[in-house]
Structure 1
Amino acid sequence: MSNRQVRSNLTPLALAVAGCVWGAAAAAQEAPVAPSTGAEGQIQEVVVTAQRNASAESKTPVAMSVIGGEALAGAGLDRPSDIGARLPGVAIDGAADGLRITIRGVSNADATEKGEPSAAFMLDGVYIARPHGQNIDFLDVERIEVLRGPQGTLYGRNTTAGVVNVISKAPTARFEGAAGAEMGNHGSRRANAMINVPVTDGIALRAAVSSNRRDSLLRNEQGTPHTLGLDRNADAGRLSAKFALGQSASLLLRLDRTVQRDNNDVIVPDTNFYEGIETGNPTPFDASTAKRLTNAFVPPNMLPEQGHSRRESTGLGAEFSWDLGPATLHYLGSHRRFDHDFLVNYYYRIMPGFALGVRQDFEGRYEQDSHELRLATNGKGPVSAQAGVYWFREEMAQLASFRDLELIGLPSYYVFPSDPVTSYSRALFGQMTWSATERLRFTLGARRTEDRKSRYGSTNLQQQAVFNPATDIALPNAASLATSKTTWRIGADFDVNPSTMVYATVSTGYKAGGFNDGCVAGPACPAFIAVPEDTLVYRPETLTSYELGLKSRFWDKRASLNLSAFRYAYDNLQLSGVAMVQGVPRFVTSNAGAASVKGLEIEGAVKPVPQGRLSYTLALLDAHYLAYSPDGVHSWAGYKLDRAPRAVFTLGYQHAFALRDGQLSAGVFARRSSDWAIGVPSQLLRYTVPSRTQTDLSLGYQPAQSPWSVLLRVKNLENKVEPVNIDSFGMTVPSAPRAVALRVDYRF
C-alpha cells in the first residue's frame, strides 16, 4: 500500500473519531451530573508511577495503559508476550530470539549481543537488557504500566518506542496468602502460591512461587521421533523483604529466580503460510491450523537432533527511600545474571525453492548491574522537581556454532565466539513541573546519556567443534564505539474541569548505535579482511514526538476516556537481517534513513450498571518509510513499517451475576486488526499478515463468603494462527492456537 493510500484511508476516520471524542468530552462537561450510584458503580482510579512518582493515571500526562494483577490472572495473561493484544498501538511477540516489543510501529530486529531494543522492558523499574531474558512468567504482579512514545528523560536510552514496566507486589502489614492451580488442553498445567507475613511492626516478608508446564504446540512430520517447541517448562520464585527504618526511611529487597527448560525448535517454514515466495511476492493462502503448526520440512543434508533450551535468570534488587522533609532521596539498584544454552534445528533457505537443515549450538552468559540515585521534592508548592544520576554496566560472553553449511561452501563448523562484549551507560537527568495556575502546569525535562560499547570475538571457519589454529580460519570481530545524546521533554497540561485533563508534549528518544561483524584495518586486522568503518558501525536512531492528549472521567465517574494523537519524526532507523559479507552470511544492521509515524489512540471503559464493565480501545496508525533502500537499488519508501496495522479495535465486557449461593461472572474480549507486514530487507521480501479477529471468553464462580473460586477460560476461540516473526531464512514463529483452561484459586 502506498503512502498516499494509507493517508487517504486514515485521515478522514481519524478526524471523524477525534471530532466525536471531543464532542463527547464537551457534552460531559456541560451536561447535568447524574445522581451518584456509589463507588461500586464507578470506574476505579489507578495509582501509577509512570513519571517516577505516585499519581492518579487520569492525572498523568502520558499516553499509557495499565493492567492490574487480577485482570492478568482472570484473562490468563501469564507472560509479557500475552499482553500486547490488549493494548492500543502495541505488539509484544515471543520471537525465537527473544521478546520483540513494537509500539506505534517502532521496533527492533537485532536480538544479538551487539543489538539494542527500541522499547525498554523493566522489572520493578530495573532495565533488563537482553530480549531472550525478558519473556518470563508473571509472578505475583501488582500491575503492568505500558508507556507509549519516547521516554528518554526519565527512563533513558533505548526508549524510542516506549516502556513496559512490570511491577511486583511488595510486602504489606497484612497476613495473607493465596494458591491456585489450573489445567487445560495441550497438556497445560500451572500452579502458583503466595504468602505475606508481617514479622514485626517494621518488617514484612512476601514469598511467591509458580510452576508452568505445557506440551509442544507444533506437530513433527520430519520423520524423526523428536518433540518440537512452543512448549512451556518454567519455575519461578521471588522473596521480598520490606523494612521500615525509623519514621522516614524504608528499604525493599527482592531476590528472584527463574528457570525455563523448554525447546527452542519453535519455527515452521514460511511456506506453511505463504506461496509465491520464490517470485519475491509472498502471498498468504488458506490452510487449517493443524497444517500451519506442522513442521514437515525434511532437510536434504542432515538429520535433525532433539532440540532443547535452558534459561536461568537470577536477580537481586534494592529500593531505598528516605524522606528528608523538603525532598525524598530514592535509590534503585540491581544485579542480574542470565545464562542461556540451546540446540535448535533451522530451516535455512539459501535460494528460492531450496532450503538446508542447520543445527545451531549456543552458550551465553550475561551479567548486568544498574544503580540510580534520585532526589524528588515533596509538598504541594507550585514547583515540583526531581533529578538524578544513573549508571549501567553489562558484560556478555557467548559461543554460537552453526553446522551443516557445507553445501554453500563453508566448513563443517561456522562459529562465533564473543568474549567479552561490554556495554556501559551513564546519565544525568532532571525534570521540573511548574503550576502556573491551579489548572495549568508546564513541564520541562532533560537527560544526558553517554554510552560505550566494545566487542572482542571472531567469525571462525572450523573443521571440528574445537578451533585448530593449524587448519582453521578466524576472522576478527573487534570494535568499540562511544555515543552520547541529550534527550528532552517539554509539556503542558490543563484541567478543563476536575475530571478532564488535556495535555501536549514534545519529547525525544534515543537508541544507542552499534557495530556489525568485522574489524577496521589496523595492527590486529589485516587490510584484506577489514571492512570499511561506515559498514562496521551504524549510527544511533533518534525520534522526536509531538503529542496531544485528553484524559477524562465522566457520567458520574462511570465512564473513562483516554485519547492521544501523535506524530513522529524518525531518523536513522536501525534495521537488521542476514546478508553475505566477504563470502559468508552475517547478521548486519544498518540505518534505514527516515520514517514517518502518526496516529490516534483511544482507550476507555464504561460501567453501564454496577455489575458490568465495558472496555474498548481503538488505534489508528500510519507508519511508513520516507526513505529506505535495502540494497541501494530498490526503494521501500511508502511501505509500512513492521507490525504496524492501520487499524486495531478491541472490545470487552465483564458482568457479575449475583446468585443466592454465590456470584457468577462472565466475560468476553474481542480484537479486530487490519493487515500488517513483516519485512525481510536482506531478501527484499515483504510478508503481509491478513486481517484477523480473535475472541477470548471466561466464566467464573465463587461461592458466597468463600475463599474458593473457579474459572473457565477460552483463548483464541476462532482457533486461527498467524506468523509472529519471519527471519531472513524463512523460519516462521506461529502464534498459539485455541487454549482452554480450568482454574481453581484459594485465598486467605
Structure 2
Amino acid sequence: MDTVIIKARRVAESSSTVPLAVTAISADELKSRGVISVADIGNVAPGVVMGRDGFGVNINIRGVTTTDTTSKGLPGVSFNVDDVAISRPVAQGLSFFDIDHVEVLRGPQGTLYGKSTTGGAVNVITAKPQFDDAASAQVELGNYNTRRLEGMLNKQFSEHVAVRVALNSNDRDGYLEPAGGGAARNDQKDRALRLSGLLKFTPTTSLLLSTTAASVSGIGFSTVPGIGEAGNKSGKEQLRVFANPFGGKIDEDYHRYNGEFSTELAGVAVTYVGSFSKFKSNDRGSSTYDPATNGNQYAWRLYRGNVKEDSHELRFAHADAQGLSWVAGLNYSDEKVRESDHYLNAPVATPTIAASVNGIDPVNTTEHKSSGVFGQGTYALNSQWSMVLGARRSKDTTDRVGTFAAGPLPSCTNALADCIGDTNNGYQSASVNTYRAGLNYQIAPEQLLFAAVATGYKPGGFNDFDPIARSTAPYEPEKLTAYEIGYKGRLASNLQFNSDLYYYNYAKDQISSLANIAGNFVIFTRSVPATIYGWENELSYRPTSADILRASVTFAHSEYKSFMAGLMQNVDWSGKSLDKTPSTVATLSWNHSWPLANGGRVKTQIGTRYSTSYLNSDFVGAVQYRQKAFSRTDISATYLTADGKYTLQAFVNNLEDKVQITAVGGNNDYSVSAPRFFGIRLGAQF
C-alpha cells in the first residue's frame, strides 16, 4: 500500500499514521482520478463540497464555508500553497499545476495554521527541484474545444544546485449558452509558469526559491437564471442563459515569489517561509438573467482590483528519541486589496456604455493583518499512549479606507470613471486564543486510536451600517470547537481503514447577506450558533498487485440553533440545515493494471460518487433550495509503453452529464457544476 509523506502538522509524517482527519492525494492519483483544478478536489475527498461564484471557488468542508466573498471577508477554510495561505479565491487556482500532492485537513486547524481554518485547510504542495535531469509534457484535447498543455524541465547543475521549470496552459470554451447566440460563459483561458531553484549547502541546510507568473483571460464566470425552476430543467436547459450585449471579459495577472530556508541548529530544525504576491484584475461581467426582471435593464459590472500580500513564518521543530516531539513558531501576514467595483445598468432600448448608470460603486483599500505565536507538542507517556497539547495566540485586524456611492449621483456622468460617494471607512481588531488537546493510543504498530478537542476561528470584521452606532461597527471573530475520535489502521498489509467521528459546537457562524438594517440595505454579517456532527469512513484495499479499491462513506447532520433569515431578518430558521451538508455521501473507485504482450500496460480507473440531497440558501428571500440526490462517475483508460516514457489516456468526467446547484444568487439565479467533459491526454517523460 502506498503512503504519502505529508506536513499537515508542520513536520514530515506518514498520512496513514498522523492523528488527524486528513486525506492525502499523490500526484499519480490526482492524474488518474482527473483532478486538474481546485474545484475537482471535492470529487475525491470526503466531507468536501465545492461551490463557485464570481469571486472564484468556494470551499466547504463538513458544512463550514464562508458567505462573505467580498474584499473585507475572509475564507472559513484555509487554502495554502507551499505553506503560504492564499486568501483570495480568484488567485488560488493559478498555482494548481506540477503538483507533488494535496492534503485536505478536515476539522479546525487554528493552532498550527491560525486564521481562516474554522473548517480545516487544503494544502497544495508543488513539485520541488530534484537532483536529477528529467522532463515531461502532457497534451489534452477534448470537448468544448479543450486544449491543455503542461510541461516540466528539471536540471541538476551540480551536487548543490537544481532548477525546475514548469508551465501550464488551459483553453476551453464555455458551457453556459446564451439564448439567441453570443459567447458561451464559464470558459477557461489561463497561462502559468513556475521557476524554482534549490540550493543545498549541506545535508541539513538548503534554500528553495520559486516564482510563479500567471494570466487569465476569456469571457468569464456566470450563473443560470430561474432557481425556482432548476429542478425541472434537464439537458441543454440546465445550461441556458440570457444574452447580454455587454458580454464578459477577464483580464487578470498574478505574480508570486516564495522563499524557504531550512537548517538545523543543535538538533533543532529551523524553517523560514516567506512569500510576496500581487494580483491585478480589470474584469467586465454582465448578468445572464432576464432583463425584464431588472426594470427592463441590462445589468453589468466593471471590477478593477489590485491585491498585494506578503507572508512570513518562522518555525522550530524537534524530535526527541526519548518521546517528545514539538513544533513552535511565529507568523505575520499583510494583505492589501485596492478596488473599484462598479455595478451598472443600461436600458434595453439603448444598451451602451454612454447610456449606463452607476448603481453601486465602492472605491476603497482594505487591509488584513494577522500575527501569531504558536506551539504544539506530542509526548509519549509510554510505548502505547501519547498526548498532544498545542496553543496559539493570534491578533487580526481589518481596516478599510474608502467611499461608497449608491447612485445614480449627479456627479457620476461617466459610467467608466470612479463614482466617489460618502466616506465608508471601517476597522476591527481582535486577539484570539486557539488550542488543541489530544490523546493517542497505539493499538498496534500500524493501528492508531486518537481523540482530540480543537478550536478554529475566522477573523472578525465590520458591518457597513450598524443600527446602534448608526455607522460602521465591528463584529467578533467566528469560533468553532470540535470534538473528534478517530481510528487509522493497517488491518493487513494490503488493507487500510480510517474512521472519524466528530461533533462541532459552532458557537459563532458568520452569515453575511443583504439585509434591511434600520431602513438601510447593506451586506450585514451576524454570528449565529449552529451544530454539526458526523461520521467519516475511508477504506483502501489492494487485493492483487494489479488492483486497488478505494471506498468512503460519510454521514453528516447540521442545524442552526438560532437564526432569523430574510431581508427583514424575520423568518425563523432555527433547526434548519446548513448549506451543502448532505446526510450521506458514498464513493467507490477501482483501478486495474492490465499487462500487455509488448511489455506495456493498460491502466483502467472507474470512480463514482453518490450524494443524497442538500440545501443551498437564499438568505435574502429566506428560501432554501434543495439539490436532489445525484451521482457522478469518472472513467479513464491509460496505455503506458513498456519503458514507461509515453502514455495515452482516454477519459470521461461526469458520465451522467448532470449538473448540480453549487450556490444561489440574489436575482433568482444560481451557479452550477461542470457538465460532462471527455477527451484524450498524451504524455511523455524523459
Same fold (TM over 0.5): yes
Alignment partner, residue 152 of structure 2 = 194
1:121 equivalent in alignment to 2:92: no
Local SS of the residue matching 1:546: strand
**What is aligned with 1:289?**
235
- Match status 1:663 vs 2:601: yes
Identity of counterpart residues, as a percentage? 30
Partner of 1:457: 402
Aligned residue in 1 for 2:185: 229
Give the match for residue 103 of structure 1. Answer: 61
- What whole-Å deviation, never above 9, does each CA across 1:252-281 have from its counterpart, x for those lacking one? 11101111112224211034xx33xxxxxx
Confirm or deny: 8 A CA contact 1:373 1:389 kept in the other structure.
Answer: yes
Q: CA deviation at 1:392?
A: 0.7
Would the alpha carbon gap of residues 355 and 143 (structure 1) be closer, same or farther in structure 2, given more than 3 Å must change? farther
| One-letter identity of the residue aligned with 2:549 | L
1:493 and 1:412, CA in 2 relative to 1: closer, same or farther beyond 3 A?
same
Aligned to 1:75: 33
Asked whether the equivalents of residues 80 and 137 of structure 1 are also in contact (C-alpha less than 8 Å), the reply is no
Separation of aligned partners in 2, 1:464 and 1:269? 34
Paired residue type of 2:233: A
Structure 1 residue 248 corresponds to structure 2 residue 204: yes
Cα deviation, residue 417, structure 1:
3.4
Shift of 1:45: 2.0
Q: Name structure 2 gaps, 5 residues minimum.
A: 349-354
User: SS where residue 322 of structure 2 aligns?
Assistant: coil
Deviations 1:450-479 (A, max 9, x none): 0111101222123465689xx987222111
Q: Paired residue for 2:421?
A: 474
Alignment match, 1:727: 665
Instruction: Provide the residue aligned with 2:333 in structure 1.
Output: 392
Q: Which amino acid aligns with 2:226?
A: D
Partner of 2:124: 166
Q: Does 1:646 align with 2:579?
A: no
Partner of 2:451: 504
For residues 5-37 of structure 1, give each alpha carbon's deviation from its aligned partner in whole angstroms, at most 9, with x where no partner exists: xxxxxxxxxxxxxxxxxxxxxxxxxxxxxxxxx
Instruction: Flag the 1:175–1:565 CA change in 2: closer, same or farther, 3 A.
Output: same
Query: Contact (CA 8 Å) 1:100, 1:109: kept in 2 or not?
Result: no
- 1:29 corresponds in structure 2 to none
1:422 matched to 2:359? The reply is no
CA offset at residue 352 of structure 1?
A: 8.2
> How far apart are residue 177 of structure 1 and its match?
0.9
Aligned runs of 1:187-586 on 2, under 5 Å? 187-221=145-179, 223=180, 225-271=181-227, 274-275=228-229, 284-295=230-241, 297=242, 304-347=245-288, 357-404=298-345, 412-460=357-405, 461=407, 462-463=409-410, 474-518=421-465, 531=470, 536-555=473-492, 557-580=493-516, 585-586=521-522
1:404 to partner: Cα distance: 1.3
Deviation at 1:581, TM superposition (A): 5.6
Supply the distance in 2 between the matched residues of 1:640 and 1:545 (Cα, whole angstroms): 18
Q: Helix, strand or coil for the counterpart of 1:108?
A: coil
* Aligned residue type for 2:93: N
Residue 607, structure 1, aligned to residue 542, structure 2: yes
Seen in structure 2, the aligned counterparts of structure 1 residues 541 and 356 have a Cα distance that, compared at 3 Å, is farther
Aligned to 2:676: 738
Work out whether residues 459 and 478 of structure 2, in 8 Å CA contact, stay in contact via their aligned partners in 1: yes
Measured in 1, the distance between the counterparts of 2:410 and 2:602 equals 66
The C-alpha deviation readout for 1:483-542, integer Å capped at 9, x for no partner, is: 110000001111101111000000001111111224899xxxxxxxx7356xx4322110
Cα distance in 2, alignment partners of residues 214 and 673 from structure 1: 28
Residue deviations 1:397-444 (CA, integer Å, cap 9, x gap): 00011111899xx99212433332111111010011110011211010
Do the aligned residues in 2 keep the contact of 1:674 with 1:691 (CA within 8 Å)?
yes
Structure with the largest fraction of strand: 2
Instruction: Output the amino acid matched with 1:166.
Output: V
TM-score by length of 2: 0.94
Q: 1:247 to 1:717 in 2, by over 3 A?
A: closer
Contact 2:362–2:404 under 8 Å retained in 1? yes
Contact 2:365 2:401 in 1 (8 A): yes
Partner of 1:146: 104
Give the 5 Å matches for 1:619-634: 619-630=554-565, 631-634=568-571
TM-aligned CA deviation for residue 180 of structure 1: 1.0
Q: Which letter maps to 1:227?
A: A
Find the residue that maps to 2:246 and give its secondary structure.
coil
Q: 8 Å contact 1:111–1:132 — kept in the other structure?
A: no
SS at match of 1:134: helix
Instruction: From the superposition, tell whether residues 520 and 416 of structure 1 become closer, same or farther in structure 2 (CA, over 3 Å).
Output: farther
More helix by percentage: 1
Closer/same/farther in 2, CA of residues 733 and 472 from structure 1, 3 Å limit: closer
CA contact (8 A) 2:81 2:95 kept: no
What is the distance in 2 between the residues matched to 1:538 and 1:472? 28
Q: Does the Cα contact within 8 Å between 2:296 and 2:347 map onto a contact in 1?
A: no
SS of 2:129's partner is: coil
Partner of 1:733: helix, strand, or coil?
strand
**Partner in structure 2 of residue 6 of structure 1:** none
Measure how far apart 1:69 and its partner are: 1.1
SS at match of 1:133: helix
Q: Which letter maps to 2:275?
A: S
What is the letter of the counterpart of residue 669 of structure 1? G
* Cα displacement (A) at 1:136: 2.7
TM-fit CA distance, 1:580? 4.6
Q: Which amino acid aligns with 1:286?
A: N
Alpha-carbon distance in 2 for matches of 1:621, 1:432:
31
Shift of 1:569: 0.4
Q: Distance in 1 between matches of 2:487 and 2:374?
A: 27
d(CA) in 2 for partners of 1:667, 1:456 = 53
The two structures have a TM-score, normalised by structure 1, of 0.86
Q: 1:153 to 1:265 in 2, by over 3 A?
A: closer
Secondary structure of the corresponding residue to residue 251 of structure 2: strand
Q: Which residue of 2 aligns with 1:279?
A: none
For 2:365 and 2:517, how far apart are their aligned partners in 1? Answer: 23
Distance in 2 (CA, whole Å) between partners of 1:168 and 1:605 is 25
Partner of 2:351: none
Whole-angstrom CA distance in 2 between matches of 1:609 and 1:450: 52
Secondary structure of 2:30's partner? helix
**Does 2:583 correspond to 1:636?**
no
Q: Secondary structure at the match of 2:582?
A: coil
| Cα drift, residue 582 of structure 1 | 7.2
Q: How many residues are treated as equivalent by the alignment?
A: 673
Once residues 442 and 380 of structure 1 are traced to their aligned partners in structure 2, the CA distance between those partners, rounded to angstroms, is 16
**What are the superposed Cα offsets for residues 361-402 of structure 1, whole Å, 9 maximum, x if unpaired?**
000000011101111114422111121111111111000111
| SS of structure 2 residue aligned to 1:73 | helix
Please state if 1:60 is matched with 2:6: no
The answer to whether the 8 A contact 2:515-2:522 is kept is yes
Unmatched segments (≥5 aa) in structure 1: 1-42, 276-283, 522-529
**Contact 2:363–2:420 under 8 Å retained in 1:** no
Q: Whose relative contact order is higher, 1 or 2, with alpha carbons under 8 Å and at least 6 apart? A: 1
The offset of 1:583, in angstroms, is 6.4
- The 1:74/1:247 distance shift into structure 2, 3 A limit, reads closer
Give yes or no for contact 1:478–1:518 (8 Å, CA) kept in 2. no
